[in-house]
């Protein structure tokens, strides 16, 4: 049986909430709260997609992954370790390639659709 197409607007998914400060040594500023609605996880756990919302805060970006993002609403910055700042708002799309080193900085509460290839699971 072939898998079904995932419709981000209609599929319910599974929602989880977490306080990012619960991850040691990750948060740099603020107390970001994350809500993630997981819509797809491959059988081996290496491909993930869904919708994510974060309240303001700054944290060290996760590594060992490629992540495509489409910002639905809000305002974020991605800040590389060399100081390059890229700003994204509702309607913007971008890819964070494996090997990126830097920070997420959520300026105002942000919601995005994401697709992640997680190399730590492969």
The encoded tokens of residue 56 equal 């303001």
The pLDDT score that the predictor gives to residue 9 is 87
**Cα 117 vs. chain centroid, distance in angstroms?**
12
Write out the residue range of the structural domain in which residue 90 sits.
15-118
- Residue 28 covered by a domain: yes
- Residue 10 covered by a domain: no
- Residue 41 covered by a domain: yes
The pLDDT score that the predictor gives to residue 21 is 87
For residues 98 and 68, give the distance between their C-alpha atoms in angstroms, rounded to a whole number: 11
- Residue 82 covered by a domain: yes
As a whole number of Å, the end-to-end CA separation of the chain is 24
The encoded tokens of residue 101 equal 């080193």
The pLDDT score that the predictor gives to residue 122 is 65
Phi, psi for 21 (deg, rounded to 5): -65, -15
Per-residue pLDDT 10s for the chain (122 aa) are 667 899 998 878 999 999 988 887 899 999 999 999 999 999 999 999 999 999 999 999 988 999 999 999 999 999 999 999 999 999 999 999 999 999 999 999 999 999 999 999 76
For residues 70 and 14, give the distance between their C-alpha atoms in angstroms, rounded to a whole number: 19
CATH of the domain at 69: 2.60.120.10
- Residue 5 covered by a domain: no
- Residue 44 covered by a domain: yes
């Amino acid at each position: 049986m072939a898998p079904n197409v995932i419709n981000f607007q209609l599929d319910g998914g599974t929602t989880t909430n977490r306080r990012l400060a619960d991850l040691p040594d990750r948060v740099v500023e603020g107390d970001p709260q994350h809500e993630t609605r997981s819509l797809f996880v491959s059988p081996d756990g290496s491909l993930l997609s869904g919708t994510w919302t974060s309240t303001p805060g700054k944290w060290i970006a996760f590594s060992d992954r490629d992540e495509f993002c489409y910002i639905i609403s809000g305002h974020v910055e991605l800040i590389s370790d060399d100081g390059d700042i890229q700003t994204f708002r509702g309607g913007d799309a971008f890819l964070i390639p494996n090997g990126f080193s830097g920070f997420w900085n959520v300026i105002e509460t942000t919601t995005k659709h994401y697709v992640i290839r997680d190399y730590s699971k492969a």
